[in-house]
A and B are shown apart, each in its own frame.
Chain A
Amino acid sequence: MKTTPLHEQHLALGAKMVPFAGFDMPIQYTSITSEHLAVRGLAGMFDVSHMGEFWIRGPQALEFLQYVTLNDVSKLKVGRAQYSMLPNASGGLVDDIYVYRTGETEYLMVVNASNIEKDWLHLKGLIEGFDVELENASEFFALLAVQGPRAAATLQKLSDTDLLERKKNDTFMAKIAGKWARLARTGYTGEDGYEVFLAPDEVRVVWKALLDADVTPCGLGARDTLRLEAGFPLYGHELTDETIPLCTPLAWVVKAYKTFHGKEAMMGRPCVQKLVGLTLETGIPREGYPVVKDKAKVGYITSGTHSPVLKKGIGMAYVNTELAETGASLEVEIRGKTVSATVVETPFVQ
């Protein structure tokens, strides 16, 4: 099992560890609910060093990225970042990703830990004809996500660079606790905050400085409940090789005016089902539970949990397109019984 550079720190804090994407990762330090609420109320930090980082460099880096991703990379100025996706040849998704423009002809792509190998082979397979170099730099980066309404202000105390005036999706280099880091005002919790890319042998200093500044260490459990409340998809659940992104609330990512890999296949596929948010009257939806209407199965839950903020069951589900309207009354089958569910707009928590 692989470990991140903060593995000993997690064990020292008494974290419960679980295997995730081949890494031994903390699922919680104290409790998922308290870590979740720390991020919603003050500031929390996540070790997400297991995620993958690829460098894309060269005269045709932009042309290559335009072809292999769905969002419009030509809109990205140096020092800016965007959410995007990697389409496959049949109109589904290889992964969802973040693209950071770090120089005129240099980009950093952050990919899901579970997809590093798959993405790498996929991108390598499409590189022919482009004057571009790809580097898998996953082992050269540690990554901390510092999230919450007090996250930026707390990081600011550890840096001489102005962090408070930066906009969402800005990315730049700065020293944090004396260590050079790439910062990006991004995250996966629905809160303000930064993601901090560091050298693996320097991340412990920053982790310690943030712990000393009372930032709550948070595990993958809270990361999942936070992203669900924020309505963010997770690859392997809401998004798969089969997913048509046009049938999800992330359809905005697909820039149909440009050419991209698999475009014809994607544009030709109808939305039989759409991805929606559901809230439940009682009980907790879990992945795979059927969504029903008038005793007929009309969809399935892709992720679900108990929302610590709303204090009720929330989930995301693919449901038949004609029923995927905000306000629609449906049911979720939980252990053979049905409970009332309502289609709602996401994010669940603003």
Chain B
Amino acid sequence: MDYPETLRYSKSHEWARQDGDMIAVGITDYAQDQLGDVVFVELPSVGKTVAAGNSIAVVESVKTASDIYAPVAGEVVEVNAALADKPELLNSSPFEDGWMFKIRPSQPGELDTLMSAAAYRQFVESQ
């Protein structure tokens, strides 16, 4: 199970990464492993404004549909269009090619309130 050091993590198993003045978001390696084969991704509309903790996207595996939550507040400025044809990128490359959307944050510093890699790993291992 991978826990990249440079990312921040939520308790609902999203990761977040500073990307210029935006924050890229996806699901963690643990999340994709729990879900199994991802076969459908419903992404938010660009321009949507969200608060941290809002349900913003849906990932469907063969087994089940799971809500994805915005880890920080802001405006959705970009979504990963490649996921429409290749939802399996969430399994094969959860931290890179399988990123889901980018948010322009409205609350500076909110990213730092998320868990570090070490804290998230401990959280997962206690589940």
Contacts and interface: CB of A to CB of B under 8 A. Distances in A.
Given A284-B65, A286-B65, A33 B37 contact: yes
A221 B39 contact: no
A335 to B, nearest CB: 7
Interface in B50-89: 58, 60-65
A259 interface: no
A306 B62 CA distance: 6
A308 B39 CA distance: 9
Band of interface residues on B: 10 to 19
B44 interface: no
A262 to B, nearest CB: 35
B40 A306 contact: yes
A245 B89 CA distance: 42
B63 A32 contact: yes
A28 B36 CA distance: 9
Tell me which of A33, A283, A335 has the highest count of chain B C-beta atoms within 10 A of its own C-beta. A33
A87 B40 CA distance: 39
Given A33-B37, A284-B40, A306 B58 contact: no
DSSP class of A's interface residues: helix, strand, loop or mixed? mixed
Given A283-B40, A284-B40, A306-B39, A33 B58 contact: no
Interface string B29-51: 00000001101101000000000
Given A221-B36, A284-B40, A306-B40, A32 B62 contact: yes
B40 A225 contact: no
A335 B65 CA distance: 10
A33 B40 contact: no
Contacts of A33: 37, 39, 62
Contacts of B40: 283-284, 306, 313
A27 B61 CA distance: 13
A313 B62 CA distance: 10
Contacts of B39: 33, 284, 306
Given A32-B36, A32-B37, A284-B40, A308 B62 contact: yes
Given A283-B40, A306-B40, A225 B65 contact: no
A31 B65 contact: no
Nearest to A305: B62
Contacts of B36: 16, 28, 31-32, 221
B58 A225 contact: no
Given A32-B36, A284-B39, A221 B63 contact: yes
A31 B61 CA distance: 11
Interface string A6-19: 00000000001000
Contacts of A283: 40, 42, 60
Nearest to B62: A32
Interface string A24-47: 000110011100000000000000
Nearest to B63: A221
Contacts of A221: 36, 62-63
A313 B40 CA distance: 10
A221 B64 CA distance: 11
A116 to B, nearest CB: 25
A23 to B, nearest CB: 18
A306 B40 CA distance: 9
Contacts of A32: 36-37, 61-63
Interface of A: 16, 27-28, 31-33, 221, 225, 283-284, 286, 305-306, 308, 313, 335
Given A284-B40, A313-B40, 10 more contacts: A28-B36, A32-B36, A32-B62, A33-B39, A221-B63, A284-B39, A284-B60, A305-B62, A306-B39, A335-B42
27 contacts: A16-B36, A27-B63, A31-B36, A32-B36, A32-B37, A32-B61, A32-B63, A33-B37, A33-B39, A221-B62, A221-B63, A283-B40, A283-B42, A284-B39, A284-B40, A284-B60, A284-B65, A286-B64, A286-B65, A305-B62, A306-B60, A306-B62, A308-B62, A313-B40, A335-B42, A335-B58, A335-B65
